[in-house]
């Protein structure tokens, strides 16, 4: 491993010596070689030299206040330039050359697509602006931008940068120019430009405060027809932010551009969002229902950043969750309003458990606000995003809707145009309401998932039910001792018949309401309910009121009661998950007659024909947690084959209990009324069809495959077709189905990603051969992040029995590929490497094989800082 890069520490933050008030850029764009002239007006009250970050830049000119700087007045350092003699109000001018077509990292200015047909674009967050020009590349330096783009008109007919348009025209030699002015001060990570042959759809939008805005969605020819859904979603998001937070858009135009070459999901650049095509383009023949919802969610997320992130940005990258946790929370609320709220909550919580709880339990565990990093790119994590959102949700819940809005108003008003901290956020929310929220800071600084133990005791003589809550957070790397954190526990009590009881806490004069939020603010708390007629069944942590692991010794029949009768759809699901997880534990230990298994199967068998139940919720109820989440229940010596076998047994028992006939006829009934429409009812039916077909496959594989075959041939929507393909890949028609799908979709990159992923996901040791063969498919390339994640990411993350095959070949395969990918694109390699996350807890043979593969990779010489950081932490 190379000498480890230096640590950046939150405790060492200091305000910048020099600030930049305005940036003027002139960019001459060309695929092979682009030139960027930048003039910075800087301010400071110091004698210290001015430091400008720069990376992979060829410096052609450097001037201070109009004079070319002599060599003696500046130095090139490892990270950029150091310039002497700068004064308050000085203007620094640089001219640099960069090579977009050679930029495989997809950070800075790069080429999307082929050299003759593709387009140029930028990606700056977190530290990519320094790959475009010399600049103090830190989010607390905010400036206004005037950007002039120049390029050949035929090759680059469309020129875009963030801000309002400020003129355009022709130059000689077939070139043209366009200028953009962004009046809102912004950090450089929000800078963006795009140039090339793009098409657009436009819509006129008037904001609530009366501004006329042109919304433009841009894509390459052939894809522009697939932007309509995103445009509608954008308009919904804009209206929602006006109504819910009183936030209006603030420029005359809003551009969104789709690219197939992108490291992340999407980017909120001011006035010029850039999207991974998979989160912008949608079409019935190409996109699943899930993908439609993702498009809606990501369009909203990026738009919401205009306030939570752009108008109010982060002081430093340790505060990343200030914008990301908050914006995820805003998106989750929006999506819940647009769709089914309980289903949205179920999806978000299962993602949290699958991605964040597992991250928090492994070597890469870190707080929502980390205290140090080597490479900030590695902190765009489930913890910063998803757990960060849960923290905002807890605080919003603590305040209640009205006070939360009041607090948010103060936050936006107080910090508009500013770079803020998490303390600022809590202070604004608290001060607006006279409430001290500083105890919540403990959540931000502490890694690990708290365990919440609940003990219930009923005193029949006193008619009193005492709930004792106790918290404990397991140690995480570098944080052996944990403090208690405030935990809001939303609670209801049920009688044995499944009716909710009115609640009267000790000290209250009479019973009122059926739900309470108990605030646990120390290690232990006791909550006494009075006038409880009989021993109740507690429904705890309703709606997942805090991101903790709940431990309560429920009787299986009590969980079955909640599964049947809790009006909180989320907690119904949570009760079912607890039952199935316990049944899983038993099956793993060889016990197929556990009370939990029986209660789960019986409960679902009787709900199966309940016509009142939303089919989407039923679908969620029928599916136990994913293998990777179930594996978290095992302390040590995880055997992924045993995990899968136990989970399959779980599904088999359920399918048998429901019965093959009922599964077949339910599927056929759903299919008989199927449409390809996107309305909620049609989507819910498709979701249920998936669950039913998977169950059916366990008991009557022939019957399931027959139906999958018919579905594959007839489906007019991607949700059904992909389900059919996934099923068929497990049977004798695998090759035929794969080639039929390939033939149909070979020209659609987003559909081809699903084709690769579906094959990588087929469980079992033999899939490695398939994945290796697919590397040689004409459509595969290590240069495209989506393709890499589709094939290799799916294999490593969503196919435990494939990746973790007992002989360790999966590990050696992946690490060999990681070395190749790292040489092209460090961010993609580092992200993929996190698939090794749980390796410590594997059984000894696999553990050793995984360790050896990681150690071999880590001993290589030319590792990027990104990958080296992940490996170092994973191996510690």
Which residues belong to the active site? 302
| Shortest distance, position 126 Cβ to ligand PHE, whole Å | 6
Binding site for Zn ion (CB under 5 A): 324, 327
Nearest distance, CB of residue 614 and ligand PHE, angstroms: 30
Residue 492 contacts residue 539 (beta carbons within 8 Å): yes
Which residues between 218 and 257 bind ligand PHE (CB under 6 A)?
none
What region does 111 belong to: left with phi over 0, alpha with psi -120 to 50, or beta? beta
Give, to the nearest 10 degrees, the angle between helix 826-833 and helix 865-875. Answer: 20
Cα–Cα distance measured from residue 25 to residue 37, given in angstroms and rounded to the nearest whole number? 6
Number of residues interacting with ligand PHE: please give it, by CB under 6 A: 12
DSSP 52: E
Which of Zn ion, ligand PHE, none binds 380 (CB below 5-8 Å, type-dependent)?
Answer: ligand PHE
Provide the token pair at 411. 């936050």
Among 267, 281, 295, 854, the residue binding ligand PHE under the rule CB under 6 A is: 267
CA 134 to chain centre: 31
Q: Residue 110: which H helix or E strand, with range? A: strand 108-112
Q: Which does 264 bind (CB under 5 to 8 A by kind): ligand PHE, Zn ion, none?
A: ligand PHE
Give exposure, 181-190, as e/b (b: 16+ Cβ within 10 Å): bbebbbbbbb
For residue 72 the two structure tokens come to 């003696």
Euclidean distance between CA atoms 276 and 226, whole angstroms: 13
CB nearer to Zn ion: pick between 299 and 728? 299
Q: For the window 693-732, what string marks contact with ligand PHE as x by the rule CB under 6 A?
A: ----------------------------------------
CA proximity to 90, closest of 37, 43, 23, 145:
43
321-350 footprint of ligand PHE as x/- string (CB under 6 A): ---x--------------------------
Residue 847, token pair as written in the block = 């553990």
Is 125 one of the binding residues for ligand PHE (CB under 6 A)? yes
Part of the chain binding ligand PHE (CB under 6 A), chosen from 67-75, 111-119, 300-308, 474-482: 300-308
**Sign of torsion, CA 652 656 661 662?**
negative
* Residue 326 dihedral angles phi and psi, to the nearest 5°: -65, -40
DSSP for 800-869, please give it: HHHHT-TTSHHHHHHHHHHHHHHHH-HHHHHHHHGGGGGGGGB-HHHHHHHHHHHHHHHT-SS--HHHHH
Among Zn ion, ligand PHE, none, residue 558 binds (CB under 5-8 Å by kind): none
Kindly tell me which of 666 and 831 has the beta carbon lying closer to ligand PHE.
831
CB of 279 to ligand PHE, least distance (A): 10
598 binds, among Zn ion, ligand PHE, none (CB under 5 to 8 A by kind): none
Decide if residue 268 touches ligand PHE (CB under 6 A).
Answer: yes
Residues 135-164 that bind ligand PHE (CB under 6 A): none
Residues 6+ apart with CB under 8 A from 113: 119, 220, 260, 261
For every residue of 547-579, DSSP letters joined together read SSEEE----HHHHHHHHHH-S-HHHHHHHHHHH
Subset of residues 404 to 433 that bind ligand PHE, contact rule: CB under 6 A: none
For ligand PHE, which residue has the nearest CB? 264
**Minimum CB–partner distance for residue 303 and Zn ion (Å):** 11
Q: What is the CA radius of gyration of the chain?
A: 28
**Nearer to ligand PHE (CB atom), residue 279 or residue 404:** 279
Name the burial class of residue 401, with classes exposed (0-12), middle (13-18) and buried (19+) by CB atoms within 10 angstroms of its CB: exposed
Per CB under 6 A, does 264 bind ligand PHE? yes
Span near ligand PHE by CB under 6 A; candidates 301-309, 474-482, 701-709, 736-744:
301-309
Name which of 321 and 327 has its Cβ closer to Zn ion: 327
Q: Calculate the CA 427 to chain-centre distance.
A: 27
Cβ 307 to ligand PHE, closest distance in Å? 13
Q: Which does 758 bind (CB under 5 to 8 A by kind): ligand PHE, Zn ion, none?
A: none
Please give, one letter per residue, the 3-state secondary structure of 19-41: EEEEEEEEEECCCCCEEEEEEEE
**Sign (positive or negative) of CA dihedral 835, 840, 845, 850:** positive
**Distance, CA of 429 to CA of 437 (rounded, Å):** 8
Q: Is 266 in the site for ligand PHE (CB under 6 A)?
A: yes
Residue 380 contacts ligand PHE per CB under 6 A: yes
Burial of 7 (0-12, 13-18, 19+ CB in 10 A): exposed
- CB 305 → ligand PHE: shortest distance, Å? 6
Q: What 3-state DSSP class applies to 606?
A: helix
Question: Is residue 382 part of the contact set for ligand PHE (CB under 6 A)?
Answer: no
Name which position in 302, 386, 566, 620 contacts ligand PHE (CB under 6 A).
302
Cis peptide before 125 (omega within 30 of 0): no
Is 234 or 264 the residue whose CB approaches ligand PHE more closely? Answer: 264
Output 379 or 584, the one with its CB closest to ligand PHE. 379
- The answer to whether 386 contacts ligand PHE (rule: CB under 6 A) is no
Nearer to ligand PHE (CB atom), residue 51 or residue 294: 294
Smallest distance from Zn ion to CB 28, Å: 31
Is the CB of 189 or the CB of 600 nearer to ligand PHE? 189
Q: Least CB distance from residue 106 to ligand PHE, whole Å? A: 9
386 makes contact, choosing from ligand PHE, Zn ion, none, with CB < 5 to 8 Å by partner type, with: none
- Is 568 near ligand PHE (CB under 6 A)? no
Q: Is 267 or 492 the residue whose CB approaches ligand PHE more closely?
A: 267
Q: How far is the CB of 124 from ligand PHE (least distance, A)?
A: 8
Say which residue the tokens 């495989």 belong to.
104
> For ligand PHE, which is the closer residue by CB, 122 or 683?
122
Binding residue for ligand PHE, selected from 301, 657, 721, 805, defined by CB under 6 A:
301
CB of 230 to Zn ion, least distance (A): 16
Q: Show the beta-strand stretches assigned E in 375-478.
A: 418-420, 451-459, 464-472
- List residues near ligand PHE by CB under 6 A: 123, 125-126, 264, 266-268, 301-302, 305, 324, 380
């Amino acid at each position: 491993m190379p000498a480890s890069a230096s640590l950046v520490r939150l405790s060492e933050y200091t305000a910048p010596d020099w600030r930049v008030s305005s940036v003027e850029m002139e960019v001459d764009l060309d695929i092979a070689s682009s030139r960027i002239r930048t003039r910075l007006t800087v301010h400071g009250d110091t004698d210290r030299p001015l430091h400008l970050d720069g990376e992979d830049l060829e410096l052609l000119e450097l001037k201070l206040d109009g004079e070319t700087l002599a060599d003696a007045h500046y130095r090139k350092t490892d990270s950029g330039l150091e310039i002497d003699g700068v004064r308050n109000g000085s203007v620094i001018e640089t001219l640099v050359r960069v090579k977009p077509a050679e930029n495989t990292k997809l950070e800075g200015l790069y080429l999307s697509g082929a050299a003759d047909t593709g387009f140029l674009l930028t990606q700056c967050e977190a530290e990519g602006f320094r790959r475009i020009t010399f600049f103090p590349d830190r989010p607390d330096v905010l400036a206004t931008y005037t950007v002039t783009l120049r390029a050949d008109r035929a090759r680059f007919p469309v020129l875009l940068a963030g801000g309002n348009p400020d003129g355009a025209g022709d130059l000689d030699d077939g070139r043209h120019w366009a200028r953009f002015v962004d009046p809102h001060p912004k950090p450089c990570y929000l800078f963006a430009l795009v140039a090339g042959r793009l098409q657009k759809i436009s819509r006129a939008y008037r904001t609530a405060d009366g501004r006329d805005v042109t919304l433009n969605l841009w894509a390459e020819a052939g894809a522009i027809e697939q932007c309509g859904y995103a445009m509608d979603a954008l308009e919904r998001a804009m209206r929602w932010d006006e109504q819910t937070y009183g936030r209006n858009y603030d420029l005359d135009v809003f551009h969104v551009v789709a690219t197939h070459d992108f490291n992340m999901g999407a980017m909120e650049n001011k006035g010029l969002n850039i999207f991974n095509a998979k989160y912008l383009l949608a079409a019935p023949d190409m996109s699943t229902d899930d993908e439609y919802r993702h498009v809606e969610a990501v369009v909203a997320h990026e738009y919401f950043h205009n306030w939570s992130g752009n108008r109010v940005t982060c002081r430093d990258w340790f505060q990343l969750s200030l914008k990301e946790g908050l914006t995820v929370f805003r998106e989750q609320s929006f999506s819940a309003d647009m769709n089914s709220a309980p289903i949205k909550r179920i999806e978000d919580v299962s993602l949290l458990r699958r991605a964040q709880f597992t991250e928090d339990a492994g070597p890469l565990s870190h707080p929502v606000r980390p205290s140090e990093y080597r490479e900030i790119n590695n902190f765009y994590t489930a913890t910063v995003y998803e757990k960060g959102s849960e923290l905002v949700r807890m605080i919003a819940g603590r305040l209640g809707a009205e006070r939360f809005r009041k607090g948010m108003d103060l936050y936006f008003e107080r910090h508009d145009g500013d770079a803020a901290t998490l303390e600022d956020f809590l202070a604004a929310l608290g001060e607006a309401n006279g409430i001290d929220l500083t105890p919540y800071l403990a959540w931000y600084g502490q890694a690990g998932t708290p365990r919440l133990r609940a003990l219930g005791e009923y005193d029949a003589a006193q008619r009193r039910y005492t709930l004792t809550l106790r918290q404990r957070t397991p140690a995480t790397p570098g944080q052996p001792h944990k403090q208690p954190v405030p935990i809001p526990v939303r609670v209801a009590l049920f009688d044995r018949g499944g009716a909710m009881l009115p609640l009267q806490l000790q000290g209250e004069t009479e019973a009122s309401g059926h739900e309470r939020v108990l605030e646990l603010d120390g290690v232990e708390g006791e909550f006494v309910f009075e006038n409880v007629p009989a021993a109740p069944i507690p429904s705890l942590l309703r709606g997942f009121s805090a991101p903790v692991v709940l431990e309560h010794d429920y009787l299986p029949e009590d969980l079955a009661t909640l599964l049947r009768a809790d009006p909180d759809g989320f907690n119904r699901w949570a009760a079912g998950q607890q039952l199935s997880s316990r049944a899983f534990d038993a099956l793993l230990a060889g016990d197929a007659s556990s009370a939990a298994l029986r209660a789960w199967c019986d409960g679902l068998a009787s709900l199966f024909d309940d016509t009142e139940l939303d089919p989407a919720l039923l679908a969620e109820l029928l599916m136990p947690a994913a293998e990777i989440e179930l594996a978290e229940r095992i302390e040590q010596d995880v055997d992924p084959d045993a995990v899968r076998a136990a989970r399959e047994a779980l599904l088999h028992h359920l399918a048998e209990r429901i019965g093959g006939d009922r599964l077949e006829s339910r599927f056929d009934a759903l299919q008989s009324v199927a449409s390809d429409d996107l309305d909620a009812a049609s989507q819910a039916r498709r979701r249920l069809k998936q669950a039913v077909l998977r169950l059916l496959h366990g008991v009557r594989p022939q019957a399931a495959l027959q139906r999958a075959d018919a579905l594959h041939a007839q489906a007019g929507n991607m949700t059904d077709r992909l389900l059919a393909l996934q099923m068929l890949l497990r049977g004798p028609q695998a090759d035929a189905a794969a080639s039929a799908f390939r033939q149909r979709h070979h020209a659609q990159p987003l559909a081809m990603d699903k084709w690769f992923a579906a094959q990588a996901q087929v469980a079992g040791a033999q899939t490695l051969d398939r994945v290796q063969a697919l590397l040689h498919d004409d459509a595969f390339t290590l240069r495209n992040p989506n393709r890499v994640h589709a094939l290799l990411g799916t294999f490593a993350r969503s196919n435990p029995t494939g990746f973790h095959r007992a002989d360790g070949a999966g590990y050696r395969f992946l690490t060999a590929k990681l070395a190749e990918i790292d040489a092209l694109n460090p961010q993609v390699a580092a992200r993929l490497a996190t698939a090794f996350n749980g390796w410590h807890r594997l059984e000894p043979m696999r553990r050793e094989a995984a360790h050896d593969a990681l150690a071999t990779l880590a001993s290589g010489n030319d590792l990027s800082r990104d990958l080296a950081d992940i490996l170092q932490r994973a191996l510690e």
